[in-house]
Chains A and B, each alone.
Chain A
Amino acid sequence: MELRGITKRFPGVVANEDVDLLIRPGEVHALLGENGAGKTTLMNVLYGLYHPDEGQILVSGKPVVFQSPSDAIAAGIGMVHQHFMLVPVFTVTDNVMLGVEPTGFLGFLERRKARARLVELSQRFGLTVNPDAEVEDLPVGVQQRVEILKALYRHASLLILDEPTAVLTPQETEELFGVIRSLTDAGTSIIFISHKLKEVMAIADRITVLRRGRVVGTVAPADTSEQQLATMMVGREVMLVVDKDPAETGDVVLSVEDLVVRDERGHNAVDGLSMEVRTGEILAVAGVQGNGQTELVEAVTGIRPVVSGTIQVEGQELANASPRDYLDAGVAHVPEDRQKYGLVLGFPIELNMVLNTFEKEPFSHGIVIDYDAIRENANALIRQFDVRTSSPQAPASTLSGGNQQKVIIAREFSHGSKLLVAAQPTRGLDVGSMEYIHAQIVKKRDEGAAVLLVSTELDEIMALGDRIAVMYQGKIIGVLDRSEATREGIGLLMAGRTREAAEVQGV
């Protein structure tokens, strides 16, 4: 499989320019680049969703033209999208055979035949999955396997995985890597799209870096380093390690005791949790997704009701207070789901920058809003936080993920200086934005704020945390000083294995 001189233009933008890409049989070829570098466009060209303006696609040395994805599938190309294309209420077997159902006498479905092939495939490649389970009941990692099986069922010899680890836990990622290795052993080629350096270094045979629609270079992991890849991606030197001085901690700002919070299904997602965060420190809460972190953050910002326990901010009792009360108490909140909670996507950037301060001076006088003050504020923040946009009136939906997050950071850093609650602040962001946001959080700490950071990325926890708390099944099962914490120890705590963790940490 080869791409030669692919150029794809959209009105006003060249998404891909003269891109060459050679995929060898049985290799894992990583496509690395920041958001907007043209990775997905290139793959959509390869998958027949877009037609290239210039250049050609060659399969086994012969030029081909893909009119639609069905041509690409016929040529042995399979794609696993970032957002899965599965019917939730169908079984695994039904999902896999959908569109290529085997039929027998009088056109009756031969579900058993499909099921048998599915079982055979899943055994051959170590893709364990129950063929009769309904997809909606499966964890995300298993749903991804169903997507891979769907492609294999259609005889894919080249599999495109678009940001496959974005939705996975570290354990699921390891399992996926195992699957990828068994696929390549059988001769299947993989295109692995990612912007995560560690993963690419771990799994790829060769790495092609895209920047602004062009190929910057193709390298093998053995001949390169994370630092060099980051430089290739961003186009300048990038700080991968967060530069920070030791914490100068002061008084307790946030104090939580015996907190119990329920999730939507009525389970105690936070179950008797206690913790403290002091001025000038970052308390990083680690944990596998779904151990109550979301509910904890929503409780200490007033969004979710508290069943029992206390939450105090500088001694003021705030359990079950409204989000407005938390704002007034000086709590800033960078929410986990930035598009659901953090922004109103249809609103202009300038209004998003005053989303929770619009009722205060100088943005309004009485009930009358002062749009000039709002505009001035937006212009200042856009400059200060380097938000890349054509205008403060552009809707937030036009911004890239990194710039959307910068809008939220800019807003939250311009009020509430006592406590910053940041949940997954860099999820889905590229290296450049991540570096910037980490530096801002450290700066906030150095200005004397208490920071509660919740993240499922171990790298982020290790880079930012002054103290590291590990959350497991709604409780904090261990708090470690950064100086004594090891990746291994925290990993064990995240899995709830306190005893082994104690041995590793020697505490």
Chain B
Amino acid sequence: MSESPEQLQAEVAAGNPPQTVTEYRREQSFPVRLLRDLAVPVLALFTGLLVGAIIIGLSAPDFWDHLRHGEVLQAFGTGASLAGNAYYWLFKSAFGSRQAWSETGVQTVPLLFVGLSAAFSFRGGFFNIGAQGQFLFGAMTAVLMANHFAGMPGIIHIPIVLVLGFIGGAVWGSIAGILKARTGANEVITTLMLNYVAIYLVNWLLITPIFQRPGFPNPITSEAVPSALLPALPGYRIHLGVLIVLACAIIIWWILFRTTIGFQLQTVGANAAAATYAGISVAWTYILIMVIAGGLAGMAGTTQLLTTQTSVIPDFAGSYGFDAITVAILGRLHPIGVIFAAFLLGSLRSGAIGMQSATSLPYYIIIVIQAVIIAFMTSPHLIRQIFRVRQAAATGSESFSKGWAA
């Protein structure tokens, strides 16, 4: 079985050019890549809605009655019809009329701001979960400045308040950035803890003379003066914030993918050691990330203040701090993806309000749906197994091969 050296030399001489055994996957065409990138989010959404439907079905009172009497088919029939009815109203209330579209837009704006904030910091490897605190500080600065500059014309007043709201969030956000840059403090811990600091600091500030609405005993600020409020479409609640946030998404996309800052940030996020080697200042990058991410969250608080919730109260930030993470992950940390993710969650919310009044199902069912979506998004292996989605070895992304039943 062994070849002689002479034969070998002959083989070489005959021209058997050396080549590598491994051949890499060819670049896939755009539609294939798009399908691959969308597979997991779409399947996660589908699974979330399916689980939501099951819960709604099980919550139908008739379902258990029928089951008790052994009427299995009727039981499932009622369950399915209640779920169908709920989703019908959910959809109708989100997209069924111009008013519905307007509400969906109003719900989308703050989600998109905080989603961009989280996506931007995650891209830089900075796991910022402090959007809540930054949101609050943006709003606090904005309410102070809106009333400080009262009397200005809106065209000057609004931009000033927006910029100062951005700065408010940026200052709060940069605390965690500086801590990590200087001392290496774990940002998950610091941003989470700074949320508590922000909440209770704001609770206290709200009863100080600087912020508290004159003559009120409870913690609430004065309303932002009308000249600072963002103009809305006449007859609707939809406001200028939609355009501002879309512009921000495009700017963030541009920074991430077209500038040296974005390159720097993504290098730090992908491999901080290699970034150091390449002469990038990792410390400054972390601070920069938190200035921008904090600013975006601050803008979220500011636009809320200048539109639907015109004064700050202790619960002002609601669940936006954690929605930020949901939107960013669902949008796969891509500004364009985040637009769709925020729109999706925004429409679930505006839909849920209509669903609640039409079917008396609780609004919070959509929080369950949202949670299931995120659980599946963050466990792509699970979703791949359920839906038999192949993983493309070379890229780490997914390709869709077979359906549910395969």
Contact = CB atoms under 8 A, between A and B. Distances in A.
A218 B267 contact: no
B1 A335 contact: no
A356 B277 contact: yes
A394 interface: yes
Interface stretch (A274-282, A339-347, A459-467, A475-483): A339-347
Interface in A87-125: none
A235 B15 CA distance: 9
Nearest to A234: B18
Given A217-B3, A237-B12, A322 B281 contact: yes
A175 to B, nearest CB: 31
Given A15-B21, A368-B259, A400-B20, A395 B394 contact: yes
A398 B259 contact: no
Contacts of A232: 8
A322 B277 CA distance: 9
A13 B8 contact: no
B258 A369 contact: yes
Interface in B351-406: 394-396
A359 B259 CA distance: 9
Contact of A303 (B1, B18, B22, B276): B276
Interface stretch (A139-147, A245-253, A383-391, A486-494): A383-391
B68 interface: no
Interface string A263-288: 00000000000000000000000000
Contacts of B261: 367
Interface stretch (A130-138, A149-157, A208-216): A208-216
B277 A398 contact: no
Q: How large is the interface on A (under 10, 10 to 19, 20 to 34, 35 or more residues)?
A: 35 or more
B20 A351 contact: no
A395 B3 CA distance: 39
Interface string B269-280: 011011111111
Nearest to A232: B8
A216 B27 contact: no
Interface in B124-154: none
A344 B270 contact: yes
Contacts of A389: 24
Contacts of A323: 276-279
A400 B22 contact: yes
A232 B12 CA distance: 9
Nearest to A346: B270
Contacts of B8: 216-217, 228, 231-232
A358 interface: yes
B183 interface: no
A333 B273 CA distance: 14
A333 B12 CA distance: 36
Given A217-B2, A345-B271, A367 B20 contact: no
Nearest to A323: B279
A326 B276 CA distance: 12
B29 interface: no
Nearest to A33: B21
Contacts of B315: none
Contacts of A367: 259-261
A393 B26 CA distance: 10
Contacts of A231: 8-9, 12
Contacts of A359: 260
A127 B147 CA distance: 81
A390 B24 contact: yes
Interface in B10-32: 11-12, 16-27
A18 to B, nearest CB: 11
B5 A358 contact: no
A440 interface: no
Contact of A394 (B21, B262, B394): B394
Nearest to A208: B2
B286 to A, nearest CB: 16
A65 B227 CA distance: 82
A48 interface: no
B236 interface: no
B46 interface: no
A212 B11 CA distance: 14
Given A228-B5, A235-B12, A212 B19 contact: yes
A79 to B, nearest CB: 22
Interface string B188-214: 000000000000000000000000000
Contacts of B395: 395
Contact of A335 (B11, B26, B277): B277
B278 A36 contact: no
A14 B22 CA distance: 9
Contacts of A218: 1-2
A347 to B, nearest CB: 6
Nearest to A391: B27
B274 A344 contact: yes
A367 to B, nearest CB: 5
Contact of A369 (B18, B23, B263): B263
B338 to A, nearest CB: 20
B24 A351 contact: no
A474 B259 CA distance: 42
A358 B4 CA distance: 52
Contact of A224 (B5, B16, B259, B278): B5
A236 interface: yes
A38 interface: yes
Given A232-B8, A355-B274, A367-B261, A212 B394 contact: no
Contact of B21 (A212, A302, A368): A212
Contact of B260 (A37, A213, A216, A364): A364
A12 interface: yes
Contacts of A346: 270-271, 396
Nearest to A393: B27
Contacts of B275: 344
A303 B272 CA distance: 12
B228 to A, nearest CB: 32
Interface string A366-410: 011100000000000000000011110111001010000000000
B279 A322 contact: yes
Contacts of B1: 20, 215, 218
A394 B1 CA distance: 39
B18 A38 contact: no
A168 interface: no
Contacts of A340: 271, 273-274
A201 interface: no
Contacts of B281: 322, 324
Contacts of B22: 13, 36, 400
Given A341-B277, A388-B20, A219 B260 contact: no
Nearest to B8: A232
Contacts of A216: 3, 8
Interface of A: 12-15, 20, 36-38, 212-213, 215-219, 224, 228, 231-232, 234-237, 301-303, 322-324, 326-327, 333, 335, 340-347, 351, 355-356, 358-359, 364, 367-369, 388-391, 393-395, 398, 400, 432
Given A20-B1, A394-B24, 16 more contacts: A217-B8, A228-B5, A231-B12, A234-B18, A301-B277, A322-B279, A323-B279, A341-B277, A344-B274, A346-B271, A355-B277, A355-B278, A367-B259, A368-B260, A369-B258, A400-B22
Interface of B: 1-5, 8-9, 11-12, 16-27, 258-263, 266-267, 270-271, 273-281, 394-396
13 contacts: A13-B21, A36-B20, A219-B5, A232-B8, A235-B12, A340-B271, A341-B273, A367-B260, A390-B24, A394-B24, A395-B394, A398-B394, A400-B20
